[in-house]
Amino acid sequence: MLPSQTDDRMLIAQASGLGSWQLMSYSCPINPISAALLRTGRILFLAGSGNNPDNINTPNGAAVLNLSNGTFIRPTTPLDSAGSPIDFFCCAHSFLSDGRLMCAGGTDQYDPFLGLPVALIFNPSNNQWVKESNQPEGARWYPTVITMGDGRIVVLSGIDEFGGIDTYPESYSSATGWSYFSGPALNWQYPTSSFPMYSHLFLMQDGRLFYSGAYFQNTGVSTHILTLPANYQGQITETPVSGLQNPDYGDQAASVLLPPAQDQKVMMIGGGNDYYGQTTNRVNIIDLNASSPAYTAAASLNFARMHHNAVLLPDRTVFVCNGSAVGEDANQGTRTSEIYNPATNTWTTAATAQKTRLYHAVAILLPDGRVLASGGNPARGTEERSIEIYSPPYMSQTRPTMSSAPTSATYGATITVGTSQPNSVKWVHLIRPMATTHGLDTEQRLVDLPITSRTSNSVKVTVTSNRNIAPPGYYMLFIVNNSNVPSQARWIRIS
């Protein structure tokens, strides 16, 4: 459903250079703590009990939004061995190669929070959950889940069933299910804490993992590059990374793999010094292709933030929205969004949203190039369920179009993309759909498809042969013209 045009009060008029926000006429039926863009184009919101212990047995803790008509489907949550709905509140998630969403961890109890040893898979084909017979061993609350280049899922950290950090990583494959990494527990050399909750991890082109320094709580955590053992059997080793300004300000920061993924540059954006504390506007970038990677300072945000979201736009810029200058203080909420241009190392203020969104806010890229934002849960029982959609400045421009594109491709293949404007195509790229919570998204990446030739009505491009650059799965395919205006996306499966 397009944003309502029937009530001018729902519109915020902005200059075209700022883009514009529109408040939707409907709200999310649950507290939207997580959001994922499914390969069907629909949006999956996750809450479980939704930070409300009164909802711990809710049978419908998820909602699927059909943007074309503004309606929601409420999938039934699988039951545990006692016959109660599984509470996936504060799980983590990433996509399997077939487009299903793996959600690992959840809430066993409140105050103090204890984790669950559970994993659920959401199938976008029928909008239903699957609980496989093989389940993870480790209980986890606020873990990190990431998809590897071979299609396996790796899960680390999170609060266990005793209230401590689970230091034993596990891996999952569709063929063999879940298994622990063999060997002793991780031996992290952090100054004040073990491997943090909701650690921001990025898959590097050589198969290692980079921890950016962003996290939930656990102040004083240092950045590392992680080398996983062969076949996921053995000890993970780590190499410290230096240069991050104020590493104790990584609490609910945002971080992204800057476009394109081949450049291997990660940006750390803002953050706080604890859950309720002060924030920073500092931004740091690291080049993981360097012989000795280290963070260096980049242009600062216009507004210091934590609890914010960062979204890769198809014009190869980075959009930042939501958050607050001081923890959960709504009076310090930052409704003005910003856009970072990596080519010029500059931040530009963008349109101002109508709603203040703090803790538990989400923002995700849509296939048409807009950004959907929802959520905000600064206190238990206080839930911002409204939905706003941001239209970047390019939405008001004449956009290139694709007349044809393949629905699948293999690694290293050359594919043909039909367009009536082949000579004006500047870039062709893939963007992996987002699956985000608490500002964390291990999925988000933009992969360049180099143009090899052009005809009168098409361009030929090459898909990367490196599975770590583009893990197997579904992607949005965009073309972008010489004015940096993107097309709408078409879905393609890379395998």
* Angle in degrees, CA 306, 170, 85, rounded to 5: 75
Q: What local confidence, expressed as pLDDT, does residue 36 receive?
A: 99
Report the pLDDT value the prediction gives residue 13, as an integer from 0 to 100: 35
- Give the DSSP per-residue string, 302-316: SS-BBS-EEEE-TTS
pLDDT at 238: 84
Closest CA to 88 of 165, 36, 125: 36
Provide, for the chain, the percentages of residues in helix, strand and coil under a 3-state DSSP scheme, each rounded to the nearest 5.
5, 40, 55
Q: Quick one: pLDDT at residue 275?
A: 64
Token pair listed for 254: 């945002």
Residue of 286 and 6 predicted with greater confidence = 286
Show Cβ contacts of residue 47 under 8 Å, excluding neighbours closer than 6 positions. Answer: 30, 31, 32, 33, 34, 55, 61, 62, 63, 89
192: pLDDT strictly greater than 80: no
- The CATH architecture assigned to 8-395 reads 7 Propeller (2.130)
What confidence score (pLDDT) does residue 181 get? 85
Distance from C-alpha of 11 to C-alpha of 20, rounded to nearest angstrom: 8
Q: What pLDDT, on a 0 to 100 scale, did the predictor assign at position 15?
A: 40
Least confident of 267-276, 279-288, 484-493: 267-276
At a CB cut-off of 8 Å and minimum separation 6, what does 344 contact? none
Cα angle, residue 439 at apex, residues 178 and 27 outer, rounded to 5°: 100
Confidence of residue 277 (pLDDT cuts 50, 70, 90): confident
Least confident of 171-175, 401-405, 468-472: 171-175
| pLDDT at residue 221 in the model | 64
Q: Taking residues 33-55, what's their average pLDDT? A: 98
Q: How many C-beta atoms lie closer than 10 Å to residue 189's C-beta? A: 8
In 192-345, which ranges are E strands?
A: 201-203, 209-211, 223-227, 237-241, 254-257, 265-272, 279-287, 295-298, 309-312, 318-321, 336-341
* pLDDT mean across residues, the chain: 93
Start-end of CATH 2.130.10.80 domains in the chain: 8-395
pLDDT exceeds 50 at position 69: yes
pLDDT at site 95:
99
pLDDT at 266 over 80: yes
Q: Are 446 and 261 in contact (CB under 8 A)?
A: yes
In the chain, which residues fall in CATH 2.60.40.10? 398-494
Q: Using alpha carbons, select from 246, 252, 256, 247 the residue that is nearest to residue 217.
A: 252
pLDDT digits (tens, 9 = 90+) for 322-341: 999 998 888 899 999 999 99
Look at residue 190 in the predicted model and tell me its pLDDT.
34
SS3 401: coil
Percent of the chain at pLDDT exceeding 70: 93
Q: Which fold has domain 398-494?
A: Immunoglobulin-like (2.60.40)
| Least confidently predicted of 38-42, 142-146, 162-166 | 162-166
For residues 402-422, give the mean pLDDT.
Answer: 99
Report the range of poorest mean pLDDT among 13-22, 93-102, 263-272: 13-22
Q: 73-92 pLDDT, tens per residue?
A: 999 999 999 999 999 999 99
**Model's pTM, two decimal places?**
0.94
Phi then psi dihedrals of residue 261, to 5 deg? -60, -25
The answer to whether the CB of 164 falls within 8 A of the CB of 170 is no
pLDDT band at 416 (very low <50, low <70, confident <90, very high): very high
What's phi and psi for 247, nearest 5 deg? Answer: -60, -20
Task: Write down the pLDDT at residue 220.
Answer: 55
pLDDT at position 17, please?
82
